[in-house]
């Protein structure tokens, strides 16, 4: 196997065979120093630890409608819709259960379609119409799904309920799930740690029947 001259490597030149007479120690030292140089680029030392250098956030304006009200926000492009709703618009009905798309507690409707708002960047909502649990009722009149959840006692602690209701509203609108198995499958992205599943199912079927 041939040895290579690392100086040539860091000059972005093709690797050249290392000159005869270069010792193994010299070679390893060059490799080590080069490695430190490369690794130092994205890190700074703080308190004895290497921490990544964070780039300044990229801010972007987003204009969208939330529960029928036009909103205009300037946001870090990394902010999720869930955080924008809860922390910028004080709409705390949508819950942060896992923040990883696994529990459904953050479900809202975008242009009528249900989505996990913890997985959706707020800046992707430009021009969209977002509906949260706070926007389902009409004045003092609850949405039929809200009424059915109360009637069928479809919650216990209530933490998952805003997401369950938004998901149920989306599901009914989709119109493809009618049997118990289909409804359970279509609602499987919404986890209820209290196990209110049977009552949630009854509530959804009740609304479908009325419709």
Chain residues that interact with ligand FES, rule: CB under 6 A:
96-99, 101-106, 116, 118, 155-161, 192-194, 196
State which residue, 9 or 159, has the beta carbon closest to ligand FES. 159
CB of 88 to ligand FES, least distance (A): 17
State which residue, 6 or 85, has the beta carbon closest to ligand FES. 85
CB of 86 to ligand FES, least distance (A): 11
| 3-state SS, residue 42 | coil
CB of 143 to ligand FES, least distance (A): 18
Could you tell me which residues come within 8 angstroms of residue 67 by beta carbon, excluding any fewer than 6 positions away? 91, 130, 131, 132, 134, 135
Looking up tokens 């004045």 gives: 139
| 3-state SS, residue 30 | helix
CB of 72 to ligand FES, least distance (A): 25
CB of 125 to ligand FES, least distance (A): 15
On the 0-12 / 13-18 / 19+ scale of CB atoms within 10 A, 88 is: middle
State which residue, 15 or 157, has the beta carbon closest to ligand FES. 157
Could you tell me which residues come within 8 angstroms of residue 111 by beta carbon, excluding any fewer than 6 positions away? 128, 129
* Contact by Cβ (8 Å): 123, 81: no
Looking up tokens 């040895």 gives: 3
* Contact by Cβ (8 Å): 30, 6: yes
The phi, psi pair for 50, rounded to 5°, reads -85, 125
State which residue, 148 or 160, has the beta carbon closest to ligand FES. 160
CB of 190 to ligand FES, least distance (A): 9
State which residue, 13 or 193, has the beta carbon closest to ligand FES. 193
> What are the Cα distances from residue 14, in Å, to 4, 10, 11, 17, 26?
10, 10, 9, 10, 20
State which residue, 121 or 196, has the beta carbon closest to ligand FES. 196
| 3-state SS, residue 69 | strand
């Amino acid at each position: 196997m041939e040895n290579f001259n690392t100086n040539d490597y860091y000059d972005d030149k093709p690797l050249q065979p290392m000159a005869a007479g270069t010792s193994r120690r010299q070679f390893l030292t060059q490799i080590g120093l080069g490695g430190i140089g490369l690794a130092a680029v994205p890190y700074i030392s703080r308190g004895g630890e290497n921490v990544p250098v964070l780039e300044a956030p990229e801010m972007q304006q987003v204009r969208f409608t939330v529960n029928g009200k036009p909103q205009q926000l300037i946001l870090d492009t990394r902010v999720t819709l869930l955080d924008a709703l809860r922390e910028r618009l004080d709409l705390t009905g949508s819950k942060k259960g896992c923040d990883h798309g696994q529990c459904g507690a953050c479900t809202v409707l975008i242009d009528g379609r249900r989505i996990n708002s913890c997985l959706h960047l707020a800046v992707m909502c430009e021009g969209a119409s977002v509906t949260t649990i706070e926007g389902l009722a009409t004045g003092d009149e609850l949405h039929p799904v809200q009424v059915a959840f109360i009637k069928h006692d479809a919650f216990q602690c209530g933490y998952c309920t805003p997401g369950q209701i938004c998901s149920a509203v989306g599901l009914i609108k989709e119109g493809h799930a009618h049997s118990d198995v289909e409804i359970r499958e279509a609602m499987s992205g919404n986890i209820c740690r209290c196990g209110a599943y049977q009552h949630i199912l009854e509530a959804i079927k009740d609304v479908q029947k009325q419709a």
